[in-house]
């Protein structure tokens, strides 16, 4: 993991970290948290299905490898400027990442963050997970570290000069 904290860069914003509840039954925690905070930008962090296992048709669900880096989602409820910033950060800092396509809203906290109040520029960074929703879920520490590094660098780049609306 990169040690981004050794760099002495001033952080000019306010940062809120929220651990939400009831995502699976209506995204309730994210809805109330985003409403209360009223952020300019929000990054949802979740897990996503690793698809590098037998019997998974990658032509239907895409290629997401365990240990290949966190995923950065592109889709209808993801702000394209946030997406591009996350990808550019990963490339610039040589952080492993994968792009995940979402043909419809993702079913993650990103959905309700995006439509809170007058709307929030939203991104989604996910950690590939094998055997999701079972007793034997497996993730790679490399992917966790990748997510941490991408999100940390993103936070350090956001200031009043960044406009998430074209």
Other residues' Cβ atoms within 10 Å of the Cβ of residue 145: 17
The yes-or-no answer on residue 23 being catalytic is yes
Domain 40-157 homologous superfamily, CATH: Zn peptidases (3.40.630.10)
Domain ranges of the chain: 40-157
Which of 10, 23, 84, 100 is labelled catalytic? 23
Which whole-number Å values give the CA distances from 107 to 6, 27, 126, in the listed order? 36, 8, 12
Neighbours of 114 (CB within 10 A): 22
Q: What pTM was computed for the model?
A: 0.89
Identify whether the C-beta of residue 71 lies closer than 8 Å to the C-beta of residue 125.
Answer: yes
141-159 residue pLDDT tens: 999 999 999 999 999 998 8
Is the CA virtual torsion 36, 85, 5, 141 positive or negative? Answer: positive
Tens digits of residue pLDDT in 16-57:
888 776 766 556 667 788 888 889 999 999 999 999 988 888
């Amino acid at each position: 993991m990169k040690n981004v904290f050794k760099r002495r860069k001033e952080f000019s914003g306010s940062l809120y970290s929220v651990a939400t509840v009831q995502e699976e039954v209506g995204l309730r925690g994210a809805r109330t948290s985003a409403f209360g905070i009223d952020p300019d930008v929000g990054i949802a962090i979740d897990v996503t299905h690793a698809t590098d296992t037998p019997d998974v048709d990658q032509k239907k669900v895409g290629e997401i490898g365990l240990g290949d880096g966190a995923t950065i989602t592109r889709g209808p409820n993801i702000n394209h400027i946030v997406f591009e910033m996350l990808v550019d950060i990963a490339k610039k800092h040589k952080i492993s990442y994968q792009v995940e396509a979402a043909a419809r809203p993702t079913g993650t906290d990103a959905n309700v963050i995006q439509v809170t109040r007058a709307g929030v520029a939203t991104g989604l960074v996910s950690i590939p997970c094998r055997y999701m929703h079972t007793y034997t879920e497996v993730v790679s520490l490399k992917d966790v570290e990748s997510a941490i590094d991408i999100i940390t660098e993103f936070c350090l780049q956001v200031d009043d000069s960044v406009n998430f609306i074209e």
